[in-house]
Amino acid sequence: MKTKLFIWSSTFSSFFSSRYRPFQSYLPAFLPNSNFTSTPSSSNMPHQLEEELFPSTPGKIKSDRRTFHRCVASTSTLFLWALFLIALTASYLSFIASSGSRYLHHTSHDWKKHVRSSAQIHRKNGFSVLVTGAAGFVGTHVSLALKKRGDGVVGIDNFNDYYDPSLKRSRRKMLQSKNIFIVEADINDRRILAKLFETVPFTHVMHLAAQAGVRYAMENPNSYVHSNIAGLVTLLEQCKEAKPQPSIVWASSSSVYGLNDKVPFSESDRTDQPASLYAATKKAGEEITHTYNHIYGLSITGLRFFTVYGPWGRPDMAYFSFTRNILQGRPITVFRGKDGVDLARDFTYIDDIVKGCVASLDTAGKSTGTGGKKKGPAPYRIYNLGNTSPVTVPALVGILEKNLKTKAKKNVVAMPGNGDVPFTHANISLARRDLGYNPTTDLPTGLRKFVKWYLSYYGYNDGKDKSVNS
Ligand SMILES: O=C(O)[C@H]1O[C@H](OP(=O)(O)OP(=O)(O)OC[C@H]2O[C@@H](n3ccc(=O)[nH]c3=O)[C@H](O)[C@@H]2O)[C@H](O)[C@@H](O)[C@@H]1O
């Protein structure tokens, strides 16, 4: 629809710019005996032409045939204008109809039935959780874990094409088989959010929808603002209004440490020197959630994830794209830091992250406000969820080569200045103390599980490679 409107508006502007001046100019010729007195700026108009179009004496028009041609031209101009207006109106009406039908679809009786059934709680004192980004990597795993223990789970995801949406649809299929319903909508859609909260009094929101990826922010900066800032605010606005207000746990990122070089990274370290727009939007999210906690009494827990990996992971991440390229015999690019130092990451396995997320929901205090009014102070917490043992990127490649029984074709290049940081390393004492968080999967174990999943998902076990578009 946006494309349609864009095409129409560009047609309009080029049509307008090419037609407007002559259209103005025809007016006096059209009304030879009128008292039309305004004369257009003549500075750029050849004298003869000006004389013909704007004779100093009415009636001094050189030929009737010319007048006739002008009339025909202005009639066709008017006709094109009318055509344009009709098309614009038609486009607008079809836009209203389609967005309306999307909304109606989302609020139909069947839709509510699915949402309510998915939100049903099957354990004593269980939660009903709205999981944003439920078709994403972490969202899928967290939704499954919550459902498994008897919590009600409803997902929301916009299924965008930042990476292969068919992987998201496969994840959704898996969730559907466990009776987890995902609403296909953007978190910026306030009407849908309102409908969801009207349908289910969510006790918790697990907010994982985001524009991820550090380097992609150079290509598409606005998508980060759209999801990580505007989307977050829309969601918080809804949560603050809700009766009762839910407790919110959300995904921040290790990238907020930016240029901090004090290791390991502790929650009290500097986070005011982001190295990428992605990091800046996640840091902004920490400040924005603080504001909503302060003004409206929303209970907030922000989790700084450290390079999460595992089965059903994100194809844009290094471990995933390296696996694909190695299997397809294509080269991989390995970045290296200043003075030839290897880059390192505190790679954290998905199951450990899920435990951290669930523990955060379990220990989150209640929000204190209701219907937009704060009743008292509410908890505001931030935790690192890392693995505490960084591994270099070449070592990661070595583990993959072993698991895939194939040597990688490596291009080693200097780390481009596009938002990357040389290393990450989490101090997890706070999460250990408050959440009982205790990561147990090392990189070789986690990557073994990932490769097993990858080979099966992309059909390598049946001798096929379905990963070409992943
Ligand atoms: O922990 C985080 O906060 C972030 O972790 C990852 O970001 P990143 O650590 O950069 O993960 P990858 O993109 O998988 O890169 C891992 C390492 O491989 C390197 N790399 C990446 C891509 C490549 O082609 N070559 C290469 O050497 C990177 O420089 C980096 O050192 C995620 O992509 C972010 O969404 C997340 O927020």
Taking CA atoms only, the protein residue closest to ligand 1 atom 24 is 333
DSSP assignment of 361-419 equals HHHPPPP--BTTB--S---EEEEEE--S--EEHHHHHHHHHHHHTS---EEEEEPPSSS
Side-chain-side CA neighbours of 338 within 13 Å: the count stands at 5
pLDDT at residue number 84? 79
Output the pLDDT for position 87: 77
- Residue 13 CA to ligand 1 centre (angstroms): 43
* Protein residue closest via CA to atom 16 of ligand 1: 318
In order, the DSSP letters of 37-50 are: ------TTS-HHHH
| Ligand 1 atom, smallest distance to 334 CA | 27
Does ligand 1 lie within 6 Å of residue 334's CB atom? Answer: yes
Residue 116 Cα to ligand 1 middle (Å): 38
Whether the CB of 254 sits within 6 Å of ligand 1: yes
C-alpha to C-alpha distance for 401 and 26, rounded to whole angstroms: 75
Structure tokens at 468: 């070409």
In short, whether 13's Cβ falls inside 6 Å of ligand 1 is no
Cα dist. 267→14, 270, 312, 343 in Å? Answer: 54, 8, 29, 22
Residue burial 78-100, b: 16+ Cβ < 10 Å; e: rest: eeeeeeeeeeeeebeeeeeeeee
193 lines ligand 1 (CB under 6 A): no
- What is the three-class DSSP state of 199? helix
Ligand 1 pocket residue status of 216, Cβ below 6 Å: no
| Beta carbon of 411 within 6 Å of any ligand 1 atom | no
So what's the pLDDT on residue 32? Answer: 37
- DSSP class of residue 265 equals B
Residue 74: Cβ within 10 Å count: 18
What's the gap between Cα 335 and its chain centre?
26
d(CA 443, CA 428): 17
Do the beta carbons of residue 204 and residue 270 sit within 8 Å? no
The pLDDT assigned to 331 comes to 98
Ligand 1 atom with the smallest distance to the CA of 253 is 3
Beta strands 300-305 and 247-253, pairing class: parallel
Look at strands 181-184 and 332-336 and give their pairing: unpaired
Would you state the pLDDT for residue 30? 35
343 CB near ligand 1 (under 6 Å): yes
Q: Does the CB atom of residue 384 touch ligand 1 within 6 A?
A: no
For ligand 1, is residue 393 a contact (CB within 6 Å)?
yes
Residue given tokens 């080029």 in the structure block: 14
Q: pLDDT 10s per residue in the chain (470 long)?
A: 444 444 444 444 444 344 433 333 333 333 333 333 333 333 344 444 444 444 333 333 444 555 556 655 677 777 788 887 877 776 666 655 555 455 656 668 999 999 999 999 999 999 999 999 999 999 999 999 999 999 999 999 999 999 999 999 999 999 999 999 999 999 999 999 999 999 999 999 999 999 999 999 999 999 999 999 999 999 999 999 999 999 999 999 999 999 999 999 999 999 999 999 999 999 999 999 999 999 999 999 999 999 999 999 999 999 999 999 999 999 999 999 999 999 999 999 999 999 999 999 999 999 999 889 999 999 999 999 999 999 999 999 999 999 999 999 999 999 998 889 999 999 999 999 999 999 999 999 999 999 999 999 999 987 766 676 55
Q: Is the CB of residue 306 below 6 angstroms from any atom belonging to ligand 1? A: yes
Span from the CA of 372 to the centroid of ligand 1 (angstroms): 38
Q: Which helix (H) or strand (E) holds 388?
A: none
User: Could you give the ipTM of this predicted complex?
Assistant: 0.99
Cβ 317 under 6 angstroms from ligand 1: yes
- Closest residue by CA, ligand 1 atom 6: 307
Atom of ligand 1 nearest to the CA of 348: 1
**Residue-level pLDDT at 76:** 74
Q: For residue 416, report the distance from its CA to the centre of ligand 1, in Å.
A: 13
Q: Report pLDDT for 470.
A: 56
Whether residue 158 contacts residue 234, with contact meaning beta carbons closer than 8 Å, is answered with no
What six digits make up the tokens of 72? 């025909």
Quote the CA–CA distance of 307 and 452 in Å, as a whole number.
20
Q: Which residues participate in catalysis according to the annotation?
A: 278
Measured in angstroms, how far is the CA atom of residue 316 from the centroid of ligand 1? 9
**pLDDT for res 82:** 80
Query: Which residue's CA is the nearest one to ligand 1's atom 15?
Result: 318
Quick one: which atom of ligand 1 is closest to the CA of 336?
27
- In testing the pocket of ligand 1, which one of 137, 138, 211, 214 has its CB within 8 Å of the most ligand atoms? 214
User: Which of 163, 345, 411 to mutate to test ligand 1, by most ligand atoms within 8 A of the CB atom?
Assistant: 345
- Residue 163 tokens read as 């990476």
pLDDT at 67: 55
Q: Which one of 320, 332, 393 would you pick to mutate in the ligand 1 pocket, going by the greatest count of ligand atoms within 8 A of its CB?
A: 393
Q: How far apart are the first and last CA of the chain?
A: 27
Domains of the chain in start order, with CATH, are 2-103 (no CATH), 110-308+349-389+423-440 (3.40.50.720)
* Ligand 1 in reach of 275 Cβ (< 6 A): no
**Closest CA to ligand 1's atom 13:** 317
Q: How far apart are CA 45 and CA 54, in angstroms?
A: 11
Spatial contact of 299 and 366, defined as CB atoms under 8 Å apart: yes
Distance CA(177)–CA(170), nearest Å, equals 11
Closest by Cα among 302, 273, 298 to 286:
302
